[in-house]
């Protein structure tokens, strides 16, 4: 039986790490990890690592021509929403130009492209969203991700677009925190934290997102898929649940609304996803947020 070759971009990121951890356990898969710079994964067995900057067209062509992957799962992106608002050129280069490069290479070598996108393509007026809902971004980050989606949809390659929501989890050598880790650290230090009650999300455990991506790659299931958690929560709800789990002082958490923060980028108020399509076509079934907290707590040790 021929192994399916899957190439991951952005393998040093949270999702990239979880994908490689998952793929190396699957005998039917030959996994290739790639990122800009050195490999930061804590283990080196069971996969091949290649350094690749997705904005470098010549390098991308060279790597793909050599590996000849069946599927590329494209996780590399600039995802810090405020940074994207302030550094528009860098954001566009990584989130849009790089996708154009990948489209060309996938067309040339007949590779299935799975592209990671976001709930921020929506304006957040009417979540939870289904795949057919019409995007209307309200931040530059959202616009960059929507532009990439449109480029892929209007191309003639085989593709999937995997949208997700507020990913959390723990990985090796992580550059950014996430809601559970932030709440835990702040409350352990006795800090008062303000958390919004007027935004709604379906927070996604990184392991669940990796599973969803894997199911899509395995079937080479075409089209748009919404992959997220199943609980529709505010960040305040999430913070209280995390505090409760770690037996930390919930009185340090005070509810506020988005107007209390001055941030460069606007956030959509109500996103979150309807998972019917992913459940039906892929058999995707995520953990609850409570189960996600428990898993992360075990990983923290």
> Is the CB of residue 252 less than 8 Å from the CB of residue 192?
yes
Ranges of residues in the chain with a pLDDT under 50 are none
| pLDDT over 90, % of the chain | 94
215-251: pLDDT as tens digits: 999 999 999 999 999 999 999 999 999 999 999 999 9
Q: What's the confidence (pLDDT) of residue 261?
A: 87
Instruction: Answer whether 169's CB lies under 8 Å from 14's CB.
Output: yes
Question: CB neighbours of 237 closer than 8 A, spacing ≥ 6?
Answer: none
| pTM exceeds 0.95 | yes
Rounded distance between C-alpha atoms, residue 14 and residue 29, angstroms: 20
Domains of the chain, residue spans: 4-170+203-229+273-287
Q: Which two tokens stand for residue 293?
A: 């907290």
Distance CA 64, CA 260 (A): 47
Looking at residue 56, its pLDDT comes to: 98
User: Per DSSP, which regions of the chain are E strands?
Assistant: 4-9, 29-35, 47-51, 71-74, 112-118, 159-164, 167-168, 193-196, 204-205, 223-226, 253-256
The CATH number, out of the four listed (3.40.50.720, 3.40.140.10, 3.40.50.2020, 3.30.365.10), of the domain defined by the range 4-170+203-229+273-287: 3.40.50.720
Q: Which runs of E-coded beta strand occur in 124-207?
A: 159-164, 167-168, 193-196, 204-205
């Amino acid at each position: 039986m021929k192994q399916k070759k899957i190439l991951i971009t952005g393998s040093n990121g949270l999702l990239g790490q979880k994908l490689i951890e998952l793929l190396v356990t699957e005998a039917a898969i030959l996994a290739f990890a790639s990122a800009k710079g050195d490999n930061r994964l804590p283990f080196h067995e069971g996969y091949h690592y290649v350094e690749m900057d997705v904005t470098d067209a010549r390098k991308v062509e060279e790597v793909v021509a050599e590996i000849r992957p069946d599927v590329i799962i494209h996780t590399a992106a600039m995802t810090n929403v405020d940074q994207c608002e302030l550094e528009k050129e860098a954001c566009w280069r990584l989130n849009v130009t790089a996708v154009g490069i990948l489209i060309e290479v996938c067309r040339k070598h007949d590779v299935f492209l799975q592209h990671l996108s976001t709930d921020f393509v929506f304006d957040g007026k009417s979540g939870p969203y289904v795949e057919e809902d019409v995007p209307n971004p309200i931040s530059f980050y959202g616009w960059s991700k929507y532009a990439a989606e449109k480029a892929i949809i209007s191309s003639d390659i085989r593709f999937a677009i995997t949208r997700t929501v507020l990913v959390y989890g723990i990985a090796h050598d992580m550059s950014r925190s996430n809601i559970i880790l932030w709440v835990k650290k702040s409350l352990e230090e006795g800090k008062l934290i303000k958390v919004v009650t007027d935004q709604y999300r379906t927070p996604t455990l990184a392991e669940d997102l990796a599973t969803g991506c894997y199911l899509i790659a395995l079937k080479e299931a075409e089209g748009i898929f919404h992959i997220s958690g199943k609980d529709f929560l505010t960040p305040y709800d999430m913070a209280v649940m995390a505090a409760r789990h770690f037996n930390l002082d919930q009185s340090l958490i005070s509810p506020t609304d988005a107007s209390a923060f001055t941030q460069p980028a606007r956030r959509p108020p109500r996103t979150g996803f309807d998972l019917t399509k992913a459940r039906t076509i892929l058999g995707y079934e995520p953990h609850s947020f409570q189960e996600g907290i428990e898993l992360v707590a075990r990983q923290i040790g």
